[in-house]
Amino acid sequence: MSTLLTDVRPPLTTLTEDERMFQEAVRDFATSEIAPKVMEMDEAQQMDPALIAQLFELGLMGIEIPEELGGTGSTFFTSVLVVEELSKVDPSTAVLVDVQNTLVINAFTRWATDEQKQRFLPRLAADTVGAYALSEAGSGSDAFALACRATPDGDDWILNGQKMWITNGNEAGIYIVFATVDPQLGYKGITAFIVERDFEGFSVGKKEDKLGIRASSTTELILENVRVPGENILGEVGRGYKVAIETLNEGRIGIGAQMVGLAQGALDHTLRYVQEREQFGRPIGSFQGVQFQLAEMATEIEAARLLVYNAARMKDAGEPFVVQAAMAKLHASEMAQRVASTCIDLHGGYGFTKEYPVEKLYRDAKIGTIYEGTSNMQKQTIAKVLLR
């Protein structure tokens, strides 16, 4: 059997030695520890708690948290590499890690006070999952049409409302919840609050029964007179819109990495299959029509990977990356759907069964064009900058 594309692809030459070693360690872990559990978790619609504990032990849940606070002390680019590698095996596990690092921890790193960092970052690095609660039933692409209300009460705030589509909702112990302090102020009234799971009046509601990434929990959050100390405001009152926008710009690169990894995983399975499956007396991979499809998929994946890597490098370098992040997510998410679909086709009837992994990856790919900003929203972001 020939060498897999993942073993020879050129982008590895763009990594430092430390990044390459970290990438290989995550790849080995995903293959040995996650792969055997993927279908069981998908069918149960639940992450294996033991696997989550392993993710913490390996330092994958606190990649950018400084070492003195218990984290790995690495870069945003490293987070992207981790998400990509995990996604080749299980996009559900990958998105749990992605939200933890590119949304929750990034928001704390950029906006938290020193006291908040000391209180929360060690927990997020050691054993506590985080969640990012922005969306509501009536606010999706119009992210700041929030109904969740925060009312001052002395030094505290009282939160009331519901949140929808919250990734990691079931597993999380710390939530960044966005609420408005005054609907008349529009986006200038949005404020970010740090809410802990054991706060009175806070509860996790309905868990969604989804098409893909089924092991990843997507839930409703219910806030009924939840008292939040004033010291738990993340950023400043009325600055929540900025917290959300800047964090989501980084999160989109993470989703791009998830989609690149998913597509690469689907292609790797397909490369094996077309060299084993015979028709008309020879492997189907020997037919020119199949080879053309493989070449097209590999090229699309490589283009998306370079967009994602470039956006992540720009973020770490402190350069503006809004357009690059939007382009990376747009192209990677749409590419992943095309590649996963073609991989199903090349598997034939087997690809339509749960016996082969491409069926699950095909289902998992669909969410990429929806969450953390739909494809249309990415196009709008890109166009607005072009027209300035």
Q: Report d(CA 259, CA 87) in Å as an integer.
A: 7
In tens, the pLDDT along 140-169 reads 888 778 999 999 999 999 999 999 999 999
Q: Report d(CA 177, CA 286) in Å as an integer.
A: 54
Q: Which residues are catalytic?
A: 372
Residue that is written with structure tokens 């490589």 in the block: 302
Which domains are present in the chain?
5-128 (1.10.540.10), 131-239 (2.40.110.10), 242-386 (1.20.140.10)
Q: Report d(CA 41, CA 218) in Å as an integer.
A: 14
Q: Report d(CA 333, CA 308) in Å as an integer.
A: 11
Q: pLDDT band at residue 14, thresholds of 50, 70 and 90?
A: confident
Is 1 within 8 Å of 57 (Cβ atoms)? no
| Stated pTM of the model | 0.95
In tens, the pLDDT along 190-231 reads 999 999 999 999 999 999 999 999 999 999 999 999 999 999
Please list, in sequence order, all residues whose beta carbon lies within 8 angstroms of the beta carbon of residue 79, skipping any fewer than 6 positions away.
63, 64, 97, 98, 101, 102, 254
The dihedrals phi and psi of 107, each to the nearest 5 degrees, come to -65, -40
Exposure pattern of 103-121 as b/e (b: 16+ CB <10 Å)? bbbbbbbebbeeebbebbb
- Tell me which amino acid residue 311 is: A
